[in-house]
Amino acid sequence: GTLDEQKRNLEVSMDKIMVALAASLKEVCLPEDCNGNKLVTGVKVHGGGVAYASAPVEALNYVSAHDNETLYDNTVWKMPSSLFSPEERMRANWLCTSVVALSHGVPFFHAGDEVLRSKSLDRDSYNSGDWFNVLDFTGQQSGFGVGLPSKTKNGEKWDLMRPLLCDSTLRPTPEMVAASVAKFCELLRVRASTPLIGLIE
């Protein structure tokens, strides 16, 4: 979209993230939304559908799960290497993870988010075996660029995937993984040491 459309989408997303940080509570109140509306309750933010919980324990917060692409693979799709450095992609991963870690409610982290796990852009790796589902907590082995994922669920994007999977600058380095794990552990320490962040009641 145009720059104005992108700016607008970001502003709407900011409002939605603010509601998510407050456990997607229906009764949470934004002082002002991006439209200039004052004291907007969560249930009414941008026409509804953002806030659904009556108590923080009802909110399960996540940015990636076992189905669809991993968080890291999503940054590859959405942050072209011509515009973003590997470090910026890593920081985007941190930002997404921090929203989950610092939101009220129940955090859900997909296995490997902290090690920049990739499944070579596979959006449904249930039957892809260990070759695509590798999870290396040492950061020495990345699943990025190990091959084209199965045609059944990914074939329509193969032509888009090929150049990405061949781009070695998109593969997370061990140093990036170590930095990402350190940041993840820091977020967990902050959450554990700050009772107000982890409210579930």
Sequence spans of domains, the chain: 1-54, 57-201
What is the pTM for the complete model shown?
0.90
The counts of H helices and E strands in the chain are 7, 4
Please tell me whether residue 84 adopts helix, strand or coil conformation. coil
Chunked mean pLDDT (size 10), the chain, 201 residues: 93 95 94 95 91 93 92 97 94 96 94 97 94 95 96 97 97 97 97 83 69
How far apart are alpha carbons 17 and 29 in whole angstroms?
13
Q: Which residues contact 160 (CB under 8 A, 6 or more apart)?
A: none
- Please compute, for residue 51, the number of CA atoms within 13 A of its CA located in the half-sphere on the CB side: 25
State the residue for tokens 């004052």. 38
User: pLDDT at position 48, please?
Assistant: 87
How far apart are alpha carbons 7 and 3 in whole angstroms?
6
Output the CA–CA distances (angstroms, integers) from residue 144 to 87, 124, 135, 139, in the order listed. 16, 15, 11, 12
How far apart are alpha carbons 23 and 60 in whole angstroms?
8
